[in-house]
A and B are shown apart, each in its own frame.
Chain A
Amino acid sequence: MAKVPLTREEMVDLYGPTLHYTPAGGFKTIEEYDRLVATHCCFCGQQCGINLKVKDNAVVGFEPRTDFPFNKGKLCPKGVKRYLQGSHPDRLMYPMKRTEKGYERISWDQALEETVSKIKEIQAKYGRDSFAMLSGVSLTTEKSYLVGKFARLALQTANLDYNGRLCMVSAGAGNKKAYGIDRASNHWEDITKAKVIFVIGTNIAECFPITTDYVWRARDNGAKLIYADPRMVPMARTADLYLPLRPGTDSALLISMLHVIIRDGLTDEKFIAEHTSGFEETREAVKDATPEWAAKITGIPAHQIEKAARWYGEAETGMILHARGLEHQTKGVENVVSCANLALATGKIGREGCGHSTITGQGNGQGGREHGHKCDQLPGNRDITNPEHRQYIADIWGVEESEIPGKGLSAQEILNEIHAGNIKGLLSICFNPLVSLPDANFNREALEKLEHYTVIDFFLSETAQHADIVLPGSLQEEDEGTTTSGEGRVIKINQAITPPGEAKKDWEILLDIAHRLGRGKYFPYQNTKEIFEELRLASRGGTADYSGITWERVEKENGVFWPAPQTTEKGKTAKRSEDLDTHHPGTPRLFEGGKFYHPDGRGHFNAVKWRESGEVVDTEYPIWLTTGRVVSQYLSGTQTRRIGPLVDQYPNPRMEIHPRLALKLNIQDNDWVTVKTRRGQITVRAMVVNTIRPDTVFVPYHWGGKQSINMLTQRALDPVSKIPEFKVSACVVSKATPEEIREGEEAQRLSGKTEKLPVNYGINDRRREFSR
């Protein structure tokens, strides 16, 4: 029974989150450093270039890295303060085992032995697939590749999935359906050349901040900005056209825009005829989707929908950007292909200033999912159910094809099966599902049912607190490898320091376990570069072809865009990575000349009919609830909720509510309010703002425990991408009762503790500065 052994208060006391403010060595020495390491930010998918200051094997600060072309020195507050996660008091430094009284330190030997014997015991008793693995895309691509191989060949389980499942799998699935490949269609420079930029379901200012500069550069050149979102987020404020759509109605808006474009003859008939298929069905499907019809569903005035469609349709070049707002739905894939339909119908793809791109929320969301820790994929974006694909990877791995397990369950389904008692054991690495998956109470119950749980992580996240064995892994700056940014650019993460204490590099831990499972012969690596070399071979010929990319090239060229396939016969048949060629320049812009990645070379239209979300409002739960991020926090907050200056910027979750709704409910700014859905309730403070739809409330999701809005969201899944419906729930909001306020206050108290600060630091003064 993997129950947390101590009270929440005791756990916070022992393992944090502790609000860390001081750089290693203290503020006095911040300017002194031994060397600068050019690397990248460990957070969102923009993967900004950054220099880390290193002194005595500790990261002591940052210096802008102006030579990296994507961000040219620009950083968001997370990037600026990311260095504070190093030398952090909560850092896990040695292996631990759970006891009645909390965690006790044990040796690596014991920790690994217990993990391995449990894996063997559970698999012998209940079958191989009863032991599952969950992985994260903060890992480098090398590690993701290794995890994929590890789960299939060492654990020999089909049940491996990753936290990108909560991120952009809908975009991935939609892109594959439309274009036959799963990547942003363009490098970001194309944004600056677009004449119209259509942003839907993404708060780019807070989730992808550097992208705002690309949008501004386009606008300086005269581009129009259309922004669709239930909230008037910072970029929407300045948009030329703002469309405040109701949560969950994205496809109605998109279908209707296509209707107008077809009706007004704004389609690119030549492009459609030469480079696409399926247009007739799509034209038929949007026949009745008039702006008046869509206005009733979305709440956007019909003439605004017409305007948006005409602006996009008439412009010579145009770019569509979207993110989780539209993807985190049971209709995520339909929403994405609806965007693709717009791009294909107007021929705004595959040329300068045109494209359709998703914004990658997680650091290595792009690279991570291409190479194999996704339940249905093998390296190179290969399909695990395709016999040829399986055979190719089996040859690279040196196993029989039959030895590679089949398609496994997705992340939420794994938790569902744990809850149902069918999966008994779990190994996870850098994934905090208790905060990031919907319906947290259900998932907590699931974790409590596990017979064994081993976690590899660097902080004891909310989920990790359920583990039986804790293995201290590595931070991004403690290892080297590559990641792939939201643009599709493969970049190099450089090692700045070595793991502290007894902590180890993640890949070394996985290798140790594999050896102890008797499967060591499949994992002969001496370093991560060797893993990359194998990955090059394994990805060759797949859609995500990295075979022409080398670490050296990545460093020299400041990143290489995949695909970079083989160009010579020798490379195409090579058995060793040394024989692969590196002539291909990389592909910043996909689909040039209207060439798509489906076998027929065409872009595919996918007819979409409007349908409602998994849960709709009713008299009992009359308000739409939607969730998202704030700029100072990242994902489940495992890292950022420990960085003092970032916490001070937005210390606790708040609920945004429009004054009209607030008045109805007798709520004033800063009042404690209780938000409740069919799955749970939380009590937070209200922020009464004109910048949200009056039928919708918004709560950011980065917090755990009783501050976790994901206790309220639903487990309903998109049928194709298996992404849960985070962005649409029906809720009821009320002024909090005294008892609920006490709970809310306690939750705030337990959300973190402040480290002891140096004198003369002026913390209170500082807190005032940063809290908004």
Chain B
Amino acid sequence: MSEMRFFIDPIRCIGCKSCMQACSECATHKGKPMIHLEYMERGNSTQTVPMVCMHCENPTCAAVCPADAIKRTEDQVVQSSLKERCIGCKNCVMACPFGVPRYYPEMDQMLKCDMCYDRTSQGLKPMCATVCPSEALFYGTLEEFQSRRKGTPINTFDFGMQEIKTRVFLVAPDGYVNLSMDVMHHLDGRFEDGAYDHLDPFSHLEAMPMSGGLL
């Protein structure tokens, strides 16, 4: 049987935060989401990017942990720090190339996505990938992904000298995608004379050059 994989396809993400809300339901990190959602820059785009732990083959977070608190399971899932061992030094937070682990002062412990180990080890899908309305987060086999979805799954990343292979795949879109967007580019010449035959809301305002871009 082919292995179950986790895919992140940011192009499909609709920024709904279902993933965060669902992740925060987990008993092990009560009320806290272990998935993060970044806005590219809301002013320029509605593009959002979900980020879970990538579950690296050679996890940097574990390598730098002086207390040996971060363990990787046989099925390649990198776990949150062990409560008894974590000394709260935040080395892992600094070292992770994907910026995943977070230190929670009120618990004095590093927590991160453990790919819902309580669920995935039982054959269930992770919480976030189950609820994601748009399937921006997808849990299934590589074959299944390739047979029905567009985009190229990638799991090898270069960070300077370091090459990192991950259990989680990031999906690169086919072709060029413009992430910065402006409605202006899709409009008619808004300020051209006679562009509108109904009342022009800006007729009393001075015209601006149509240069596009932010201001």
Q: Interface of A with B (CB < 8 Å)? A: 21, 27-28, 30-31, 61-62, 64, 66, 71, 73-77, 79-81, 205-206, 209-210, 212-213, 216-217, 219-220, 230-235, 237-238, 242-244, 295-297, 299-302, 304, 612, 616-619, 622-624, 631-632, 645-646, 649, 658-660, 663-664, 669, 687-695, 760-762, 765-766, 769-770, 772
Bound together, the chains give a CA A27 to CA B32 distance in angstroms of 11
Contacts of A301 in B (CB 8 A): 186-188
Known: A66-B130, A617-B199, A659-B214. A694 touches B43 (CB 8 A): no
Contacts of A296 in B (CB 8 A): 188, 194-198
A30 B27 Cβ-Cβ under 8 A: yes
Question: Would you call B215 an interface residue if the criterion is a C-beta within 8 Å of the partner chain's C-beta atoms?
Answer: yes
Q: How many residues of B contact A (CB 8 A)?
A: 66
Bound together, the chains give a CA A616 to CA B200 distance in angstroms of 10
Interface hits, B132-157 → A, CB 8 Å:
132-135, 148-150
Contact of A645 among B21, B43, B204 (CB under 8 A): B21
Known: A296-B195, A617-B199, A649-B17. A762 touches B45 (CB 8 A): no
Q: Interface of B with A (CB < 8 Å)? A: 11-18, 20-22, 24-25, 27, 30-33, 36-37, 39, 42-48, 104, 106-107, 125, 127, 130-135, 148-150, 177, 180-184, 186-188, 190, 194-199, 201-205, 208, 214-215
Bound together, the chains give a CA A81 to CA B208 distance in angstroms of 46
State the 5 A-B residue pairs at the shortest beta-carbon distance, nearest first: A205-B14, A27-B30, A209-B133, A31-B27, A690-B182
Known: A66-B130, A80-B25, A296-B197. A233 touches B18 (CB 8 A): no
CB distance from A693 to the nearest CB of B (A): 5
B148 A658 Cβ-Cβ under 8 A: no
A244 B186 Cβ-Cβ under 8 A: yes
**Residue in B closest to A630 when the chains form the complex, CB atoms:** B16
**Residue in A closest to B189 when the chains form the complex, CB atoms:** A301
Contacts of B44 in A (CB 8 A): 689-690
Task: Pick 20 A–B contacts, CB within 8 A, sort by A.
Answer: A73-B125, A73-B130, A76-B133, A79-B131, A80-B21, A81-B21, A205-B14, A206-B14, A209-B14, A212-B14, A212-B133, A220-B148, A237-B45, A244-B186, A302-B188, A623-B201, A690-B181, A690-B214, A762-B106, A772-B15
A687 B199 Cβ-Cβ under 8 A: no
Contacts of A213 in B (CB 8 A): 133-135
B43 A243 Cβ-Cβ under 8 A: no
> What DSSP secondary structure best describes chain B's contact surface?
loop
Contacts of B199 in A (CB 8 A): 616-618
B31 A766 Cβ-Cβ under 8 A: yes
Contacts of A299 in B (CB 8 A): 187-188, 190, 195-196
Contact of B183 among A231, A631, A669, A761 (CB under 8 A): A231
Q: How many A-B residue pairs have CB under 8 A?
A: 216
Known: A234-B14, A235-B14, A624-B201. A695 touches B195 (CB 8 A): no
Known: A205-B16, A244-B183. A664 touches B205 (CB 8 A): yes
CB distance from A351 to the nearest CB of B (A): 23
Contact of B31 among A234, A300, A660, A762 (CB under 8 A): A762
Bound together, the chains give a CA A73 to CA B17 distance in angstroms of 15
B16 A769 Cβ-Cβ under 8 A: no
Contacts of B149 in A (CB 8 A): 220
**Residue in A closest to B9 when the chains form the complex, CB atoms:** A216
CB distance from B22 to the nearest CB of A (A): 5
**Residue in B closest to A238 when the chains form the complex, CB atoms:** B11
Bound together, the chains give a CA A670 to CA B42 distance in angstroms of 12
**Residue in A closest to B37 when the chains form the complex, CB atoms:** A772
Contacts of B14 in A (CB 8 A): 205-206, 209, 212, 234-235, 631
Contacts of B180 in A (CB 8 A): 690
B30 A660 Cβ-Cβ under 8 A: no
**Residue in B closest to A664 when the chains form the complex, CB atoms:** B205
Known: A770-B17, A772-B42. A695 touches B202 (CB 8 A): yes
Bound together, the chains give a CA A284 to CA B119 distance in angstroms of 62
| Apart from the given pairs A77-B16, A206-B16, A232-B183, 13 other A-B contacts in the complex at a CB distance below 8 Å | A73-B125, A74-B130, A206-B14, A209-B134, A216-B12, A216-B135, A219-B150, A299-B190, A617-B201, A649-B17, A660-B215, A690-B181, A690-B184
Known: A81-B21, A297-B198, A622-B201. A631 touches B16 (CB 8 A): yes
B18 A76 Cβ-Cβ under 8 A: yes
A645 B203 Cβ-Cβ under 8 A: no
**Residue in A closest to B33 when the chains form the complex, CB atoms:** A769
Contact of B133 among A210, A233, A304, A645 (CB under 8 A): A210
CB distance from A238 to the nearest CB of B (A): 6
